[in-house]
Amino acid sequence: MSEARPGPGLDGVIALQSSISDLGAETGRLAYRGYAVTDLAAGSTFEETAYLLLRGDLPSRAELAEFTKHLRGSQRLSSIALKALRLAPAGVDPMLALRTALAAAAMDQPASLPPTAEAAWGQGMRLIGQAPTAVAAFHRMRQALRPESPRKGMSFAANCLRMLSGAEPDPEAAADFDAALILRADNELNPSTFAARVTAATGADVFAGVAAATAALSGPRHGWHTRNVIQMLEEIGSPDRVTAWLERRGGGKPKIPGFGHQVYRGEDPRTALLRPLVERQCRRAGLESLHRTARALEEAVVARLDQHAIVDFYLAPLYRALGIPADLFPAIFAVSRMPGWVAHILEQYQDERLIRPRAEYVGPAPRSYIAMRRRR
């Protein structure tokens, strides 16, 4: 591990080696196992991309069919998980509900520690398959609606949308959501992925690693970007109010939700692919004003502040156009990122060392202990 002096937030420190994601801060590149994420989002499916992340190569037709069959067979929630969701108090955060459901699922598939390769693979497939089922079941239960079971004949993305709404999604909407899932499937050592790898390095099972990841993602500085963006866009209201809204933010370089990635120096490589998807889905949903507001804000922020939109900026209006409630946005992030988390956990198992970084001590100089009777 690197002995480099850490920057704020460990910026620039190389903590470990990985063959999963290639993130080019200066070049604006993001690739999964060597394939540009934009190419995957434009031509692949979430199932195929998940296989790539987990297995390391694109599947053959037969391999993808077998993988998809296994994934679909892993989607149904256990009675324990369903009961845990039914017992959730009113108003509970969806990310807490998701963590609870996945923890309940872990009871149905325990593994020896550290888990064997076969056990880890089975746990990983169950987590990828059950995450959208759990999110959708929780959403419907809180509306006093019956949870929808996954349909084996539908794609992963289409099933996600159908289980949330109870209605079969428009094919184009499902295809655009599929692309959105792919764009967020991995992004190197972000906080939640690093939490998963630190946990996996202890020999804990895949469920524990994903529990750590979802806990990290539940924090507003990591998982709430899309929520903050949609709140901001709805606060602005219309494209003609963008200038006045920005002026009220004050001088200097104020932090605008959805702008300025911590790693990418220029535009997030995923942003360009999302723009036409958002335009299409906002038009379909009758939310053209939302799309125009987003475009006007992006142009103004780039021109005034030289800050570029990150992937979350356009995912927010896309999710809104697809009918996903704003408080579910972080949970949908977790659904998208599940294959990446599992891939990193499986990779970490190949290294038997603990991830044990050092801290630079900045506290008091050495002091002598004073007994209580002598203290004032």
Chain centroid, CA 231 distance in Å: 19
| Tens of each residue's pLDDT in the chain, 376 residues | 444 456 666 666 788 999 999 988 778 789 999 999 999 999 999 999 999 999 999 999 999 999 999 999 999 999 999 999 999 998 999 999 999 999 998 988 888 899 999 999 999 999 999 999 999 999 999 999 999 999 988 999 999 999 999 999 999 999 999 999 999 999 999 999 999 999 999 999 999 999 999 999 999 999 999 999 999 999 999 999 999 999 998 777 788 999 987 777 778 889 999 999 999 999 999 999 999 999 999 999 999 999 999 999 999 999 999 999 999 999 999 999 999 999 999 999 999 999 998 888 999 999 999 999 999 8
Kindly name the residue from 261, 291, 308, 344 that is annotated as catalytic: 261
What Rg value do the Cα atoms of the chain yield, rounded? 22
Kindly name the residue from 176, 178, 186, 312 that is annotated as catalytic: 312
Topology match between the domains 38-221+340-348 and 225-321? no
Asked if 335 and 135 count as a contact pair (C-beta separation under 8 A), the reply is yes
What is the length of the chain?
376
Superfamily of domain 38-221+340-348: Citrate Synthase, domain 1 (1.10.580.10)
- What SS3 class is residue 23? strand
Which CATH number is 225-321 given?
1.10.230.10
- What SS3 class is residue 192? helix
d(CA 261, CA 269): 11
d(CA 340, CA 295): 30
Q: DSSP letter string over 327-372?
A: GGHHHHHHHHHHHHHHHHHHHHTT--S---------SPPP-----G
The whole model's pTM is what?
A: 0.93
How do strand 35-36 and strand 21-24 relate by DSSP bridges? unpaired
Domains of the chain, by residue range, sit at 38-221+340-348, 225-321
Buried b (16+ CB within 10 A) or exposed e, 91-102: eeebbbbbbbbb
| Residue 312 is a catalytic residue | yes
